[in-house]
Amino acid sequence: MKNKSLIKRRFSNSLKTYDNNAIIQKQTAEKLISLLPDTNFEKIFETGALTGILTKELIKKIKFNSYTYNDIIPEAKLYIEKIISEAKFIEGDIEEISLSENYNLIISNASLQWCSDIFETISKLTEHLSDGGILAFSIFGNENLKEIKEFFNIDNEYLKEEILNQKFKVLKYLSEEKRVYFDNPIDIIKHFKLTGVNALKEVRLTKSKLKEFEEEYRKKYTQGNKVYLTYNPIYIILAEK
């Protein structure tokens, strides 16, 4: 089970710094929108909207008649209403809230990986697709933050295409690897804090552990005068079978 109170607290604390530091999330939002098979959807539902990185990208290229969005953090409303003033906000955990409408497009960027049961959540969302509707989302794969996982021995679960094929019609499944460069390993820890990412949730970072981390990271993951961190975004577009 994911610690939702911890996730909520960390993202709430990072709201003011999120947009300036969520480098990969901006890239995945742009890519996800570019992969959509259409540019016109009557009713859209976005889950995990947070500060509106995906919302801003979507309104540049997609036409719609109504927009509903959701986030576990109530302050998300303050950000999204500045982008789409007439949008409807549904506050709460997407795994727990009830949806009363169907949508032509349900979309999420770098959010569903925080679900305790992502497969069940996807099933729930597809039940609220209109005829011919699609669910489009980005999450992160097995190679995500692999440098951090190796050092701290953290496991990662991800959605495999063959699993999705058992229940859904997979229209798109695309995996990428992207490197983000930092001046030093400590900046990576700061990066997690500023974006709310709780990759180190099970790790107690003592002063000696931080020193060891910095030394080992520089040895293994340096390119030029920078250290790097790998992200592994996966883009998935589904429809009901």
* Degrees, nearest 5: CA angle 182-183-188: 45
pLDDT tens for 21-71 read 889 999 999 999 999 999 999 999 999 999 999 999 999 999 999 999 999
Domain boundaries, the chain: 4-240
Cα–Cα distance for residue pair 128/105, rounded to 1 Å: 10
Kindly report the average pLDDT of the chain as a whole number.
92
User: pTM for this structure?
Assistant: 0.92
- Beta-carbon contacts of 67 under 8 Å, excluding residues fewer than 6 positions away, are 44, 46, 84, 86, 87, 88
pLDDT band at 201; cut points 50, 70, 90: low
pLDDT tens for 86-133 read 999 999 999 999 999 999 999 999 999 999 999 999 999 999 999 999
Q: Which residue has the higher pLDDT, 206 or 67?
A: 67
pLDDT value at residue 196: 67
Q: Which of 119-123, 191-195, 206-210 has the highest mean pLDDT?
A: 119-123
pLDDT value at residue 74: 96
Q: Which residue has the higher pLDDT, 34 or 2?
A: 34
- Check if CATH label 3.40.50.720 holds for domain 4-240: no
